[in-house]
């Protein structure tokens, strides 16, 4: 029984029963424990239950009706994870040591928890390129786990701990199951998911040590390469949904009067400015049209749209972040009575159209901008995204970093990465605008852009673009014929 009257059921190793019972009796308020990770559905804390007994405690919350139904059908997640950790030990798969698990019954519902022994100095593997030694060790661990029958659809580097001696441990087996040794399709899916943070997936050069250590069959490797593209497309859509739900990237707040806020955590310093801008909009907008109004509010750009377009616009910034395309930082989305306000950080400086019109860039700066823009557009298209409003006025160059940022995302849409015709429309419009500038180094700039664009596609293992240049040239000529030049010399 805990100090607040909640009832706790416990399954634990003998050496941790008394320290854990004392911790819960004190209301789980031991000041030596600190929060490691917090989300809407779980929280992890670490500390010492007793001298020399360092542990991690993970609490699972049953937030939604689906969570409660799942726990009722499969059992409390904490107890389930403890059983799977002990099964991993029985099958000789390195993992963190499960010490205890249980369920806390309160007036507000139940929470399950699992207690694992901490591994001193161990840290999760980075989500991205690994060192050759880490990649080799990860490949061996994956092969061992798959041969032992571990079926874990969410096994990524963040769920693998690296100890100071270089050995690896599995952690977080909440969603895992133990079966017979995995077949070729499940092995391919596991490899593709583990390598999804690499640009080239399992074909990325950084994944070579991992693949060699795993030693998959040619058929398994081919399936993993194909699955990597599908996983990226699904992950892009899933990451975009994070813009309008409470997660580790977004805070969702409901205020009186049916006002809903979605606040990007990366821009927490600008949230107060967004609330102030929403409370006192200007009498006259900087720009208005059929889609809505746009105005500046100190460090922010505010766009007013209907609810659905506002949500799409806010999600577009999250999708570009997932794709690695530089863009204006999203700040917040406010929804109220069918009207949405989208707040983004204001990017100071002239757009590319003004810089080219003023002829203010040297040849080197032009080539750097073309190289950065080619990489951005290449990543955009390789992730199945299009920007139907891709033009010089919506691009701003950051002189300090050399990046070219997209600042107007109304035209961003999710399409197929094989949509060569749509991609040619984006490129044709952009290159037609560059042609109007009549740059002295025009051929060099365009050539630099194309090299960077195609290199980004190859890096991401995107589909070949055999006819893209021809389609782009046709579209650029059509655009030039149908539009009045916007840059005068």
> Mean pLDDT, to the nearest integer, of 246-260?
91
pLDDT digits (tens, 9 = 90+) for 441-452: 889 999 999 999
Total structural domains in the chain?
Answer: 4
474 and 365 both lie in a single domain: yes
pLDDT at 455: 93
pLDDT of 107 over the 90 cut: no
437 and 357 both lie in a single domain: yes
pLDDT of 65 over the 70 cut: no
pLDDT at 1: 39
pLDDT at 102: 84
Domain containing 110: what range?
7-117
378 and 469 both lie in a single domain: yes
218 and 257 both lie in a single domain: no
pLDDT of 487 over the 60 cut: no
111 and 37 both lie in a single domain: yes
What lies within 8 Å, CB to CB, of 181 at 6+ separation is 146, 147, 148, 149
Is 489 a domain residue? no
DSSP secondary structure string for all residues of 158-221: GGEEE-TTS-EEE---TT-EE-SSP-HHHHHHHHHHHTTTSTTGGGSGGGHHHHHHH---HHHH
What are the beta bridge partners of residue 385?
Answer: 414
331 and 373 both lie in a single domain: no
pLDDT at 69: 66
- Spatial contact of 142 and 191, defined as CB atoms under 8 Å apart: yes
pLDDT at 488: 44
236 and 329 both lie in a single domain: no
Structural domain ending residue among the three candidates 329, 345, 361: 345
338 and 363 both lie in a single domain: no
Is 487 a domain residue? no
pLDDT digits (tens, 9 = 90+) for 168-217: 999 989 889 999 999 999 999 999 999 999 999 999 999 999 999 999 99
478 and 356 both lie in a single domain: yes
Q: Is 384 helix (H, G, I), strand (E, B) or coil?
A: coil
pTM of the model: 0.85
Structural domain ending residue among the three candidates 286, 316, 345: 345
pLDDT of 3 over the 60 cut: no
Q: Which of 96-100, 339-343, 439-443, 449-453 has the lowest mean pLDDT?
A: 439-443
133 and 158 both lie in a single domain: yes
CA distances from 345 to 227, 287, 332, 365, 408 (A): 36, 17, 10, 25, 12
Is 338 a domain residue? yes
Residue with tokens 């997660």: 247
pLDDT of 5 over the 60 cut: no
Read off φ and ψ for residue 4, nearest 5 degrees.
-95, 15
pLDDT at 174: 85
Q: Is 362 helix (H, G, I), strand (E, B) or coil?
A: coil
DSSP secondary structure string for all residues of 4-70: TS-EEEEEE-HHHHHHHHHHHHTTS--TT-EEEEE-SSEEEEEEEEETTEEEEEEEEE--SHHHHHH
Tell me, what CATH number does 157's domain have?
A: 1.10.510.10
406 and 456 both lie in a single domain: yes
* Mean confidence (pLDDT) of the chain: 87
> Mean pLDDT, to the nearest integer, of 85-100?
93
pLDDT digits (tens, 9 = 90+) for 22-52: 777 766 555 678 888 877 778 888 888 888 8
Tell me, what CATH number does 328's domain have?
A: 3.30.200
CA distances from 287 to 290, 295, 328, 330, 351 (A): 11, 7, 18, 20, 16
Structural domain ending residue among the three candidates 98, 117, 136: 117
Q: Is 109 helix (H, G, I), strand (E, B) or coil?
A: strand
- Spatial contact of 340 and 334, defined as CB atoms under 8 Å apart: yes
- Gyration radius of the chain's alpha carbons: 26
252 and 238 both lie in a single domain: no
pLDDT at 402: 81
């Amino acid at each position: 029984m805990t100090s607040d009257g909640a009832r706790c059921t416990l399954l634990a190793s003998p050496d941790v029963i008394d320290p854990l019972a004392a911790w819960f009796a004190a209301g789980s308020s031991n000041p030596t424990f600190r929060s490691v990770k917090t989300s809407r559905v779980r929280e992890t804390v670490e500390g010492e239950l007793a001298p020399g007994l360092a542990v991690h405690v993970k609490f699972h919350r049953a937030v939604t009706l689906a969570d409660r139904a799942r726990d009722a059908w499969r059992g409390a997640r904490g107890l389930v994870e403890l059983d799977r950790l002990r099964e991993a030990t029985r099958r000789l798969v390195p993992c963190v040591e499960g010490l205890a698990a249980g369920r806390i019954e309160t007036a507000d519902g139940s929470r399950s928890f699992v207690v694992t022994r901490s591994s001193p100095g161990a840290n999760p593997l980075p989500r991205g390129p690994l060192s050759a030694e880490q990649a080799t060790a990860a490949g061996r661990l994956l092969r061992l786990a798959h041969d032992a029958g571990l079926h874990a659809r969410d096994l990524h580097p963040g769920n693998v701990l690296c100890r100071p001696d270089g050995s690896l441990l599995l952690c977080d087996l909440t969603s895992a199951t133990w079966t017979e040794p995995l077949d070729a399709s499940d092995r391919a899916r596991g490899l593709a998911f583990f390598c999804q943070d690499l640009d080239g997936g399992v074909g990325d050069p950084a994944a070579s040590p991992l693949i060699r250590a795993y030693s998959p069959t040619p058929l398994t490797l081919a399936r993993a390469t194909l699955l990597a593209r599908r996983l990226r497309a699904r992950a892009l859509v899933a990451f975009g949904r994070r813009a309008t739900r409470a997660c580790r990237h977004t805070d969702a707040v409901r205020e009186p009067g049916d006002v809903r806020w979605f606040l990007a955590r990366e821009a927490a310093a600008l949230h107060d400015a967004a609330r102030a801008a929403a409370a006192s909009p200007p009498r006259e907008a900087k720009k208005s049209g059929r889609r809505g109004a746009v105005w500046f509010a100190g460090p922010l750009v505010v766009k007013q749209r209907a609810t659905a377009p506002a949500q799409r616009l806010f999600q577009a910034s999250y999708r570009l972040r997932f794709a690695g395309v530089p863009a204006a930082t999203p700040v917040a989305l406010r929804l109220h009575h069918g009207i949405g306000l989208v707040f983004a950080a204001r990017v100071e400086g002239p757009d590319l159209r003004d810089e080219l019109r003023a002829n203010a860039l040297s040849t080197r700066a032009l080539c750097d901008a073309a190289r950065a823009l080619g990489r951005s557009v290449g990543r955009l298209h390789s992730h199945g995204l299009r920007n139907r409003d891709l033009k010089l006025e919506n691009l701003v160059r950051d002189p300090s970093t050399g990046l070219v940022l997209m600042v107007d995302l109304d035209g961003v849409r999710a399409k197929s990465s094989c949509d060569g015709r749509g991609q040619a429309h984006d490129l044709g419009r952009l290159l037609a605008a560059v042609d109007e500038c009549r740059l002295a180094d025009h051929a060099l700039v365009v050539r630099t852009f194309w090299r960077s664009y195609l290199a980004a596609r190859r890096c991401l293992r995107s589909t070949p673009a055999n006819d893209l240049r021809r389609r782009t040239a046709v579209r650029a000529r059509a655009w030039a014929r149908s539009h009045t030049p916007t840059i005068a010399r």
